[in-house]
Amino acid sequence: MWYPLLRQLLFTLPEEQAHRVALRMISLGASLGLVQRLVARPPTLPVNVMGLDFPNPLGLAAGMDKNAQHIRGLGELGFGFVEVGTVTPRPQPGNPKPRLFRLPEAHALINRMGFNNLGLDYLVRRVETARYPGILGINIGKNKDTPVERALDDYQLGLERVYPLSSYVVVNISSPNTQGLRALQTSEYLRALLEPLKEQQDKLATRHGRYVPLVVKIAPDLSNAEIIEIAECLVACRMDGVAATNTTLTRPGLDNVKRSLETGGLSGLPLKPLALDRQQALVSALRGRLPVIGLGGIMTADDALERMQAGASLLQIYTGFIYEGPALIEQILQRLAHNTHLWR
């Protein structure tokens, strides 16, 4: 009941400032024991995916905590796993501001952040310091000034550095806000990227004595033919999972919505039909050969159940969490717990 008032206050601030304030409040609240008092404990709903034991199938998507500064606070909200990043090898400021826009009337966001982050060295230090005991995903990308032809170098460096600290690693090739990045989803580049990463993963598993799954995150703006091609490539390259989907460049149903013409990736309620449709196409193409993490447009408990029924093994939220707050976590997990026969 308290979050709508807090959201109203946060929404009076510029978007990026509100984001920073909210994260600091979560971390402070966790350190003072307030999170445990204010947030209801969600039901335990264990699932095993990619060889990992998740306490529940609902996670926080990358982008909320780019630099791994708030892992413990976010982890105490009831998520079954937390994903940090996207992190690039070198620090970069991202795109010019303003670059994050609320569309409250549409329950949506548009962002063109551009992988703003403090770099691998900083993130690694933060994760080491946090000693987070839960399932932690780390999302890796390439620097803006790295040519697409040299992208593998950045991803290999990222995988090398975060491997010992991750429960799983996400290869982000689908953000619309780094020029040329989505080209890595095409047949021209995808196999050339993933095969060396798989070889590196095998070597790192031997070196560290533990296997860390590799997940690829794809865009919603793909045709059925492209999804089929990507699915076959992921299987052939022995990836461990796929996340569907990232934000979209389209603007479905937003013709009369203020700020909808801002460039960048759209997330939230308008993304829901497209993300669900693309997930279904991916699940159909994979035929059970890889697990799918469903995300994009999950704003309610019904949305979450629908995505699980459509073949997702895990879920992630981001924009829904911003609009609905921690109560959404409990609502989703309660709905899944009461309807396990529909998705198990």
Q: What is the pLDDT of residue 119?
A: 98
Q: What is the pLDDT of residue 43?
A: 84
Below-50 pLDDT ranges, the chain? none
Q: How far apart are CA 292 and CA 301, in angstroms?
A: 18
What 3-state DSSP class applies to 140? strand
Q: What is the pLDDT of residue 1?
A: 64
Q: What is the pLDDT of residue 342?
A: 87
DSSP 28-84: HHHHTTHHHHHSPPPPP--EEETTEEESSSEEEPTTSSTTSSSHHHHHTTT-SEEEE
135-140/168-172 β-pairing: parallel
Q: How far apart are CA 310 and CA 278, in angstroms?
A: 10
Residues 6+ apart with CB under 8 A from 243: 170, 215, 216, 217, 218, 292, 293, 295, 316
Q: What is the pLDDT of residue 212?
A: 98
Q: What is the DSSP letter of 289?
A: S
Q: What is the pLDDT of residue 12?
A: 96
Residue range 285-298, pLDDT digits in tens: 999 999 999 999 99
| Domain spans of the chain, in order of start | 3-334
Q: What is the pLDDT of residue 131?
A: 92
Q: Which of 27, 166, 167, 175 is catalytic?
A: 175
Q: What is the pLDDT of residue 63?
A: 95
pTM, to two decimals: 0.96
Tally Cβ neighbours within 10 Å of residue 338.
12
Q: What is the pLDDT of residue 92?
A: 97
* Cα 225 to chain centroid, rounded: 24
Q: How far apart are CA 167 and CA 231, in angstroms?
A: 23
Q: Does domain 3-334 have CATH number 3.30.360.10?
A: no
Our answer to whether residue 27 is catalytic in this structure is no
Q: Of 292, 302, 306, which is closest to residue 324 (Cα–Cα)? A: 302
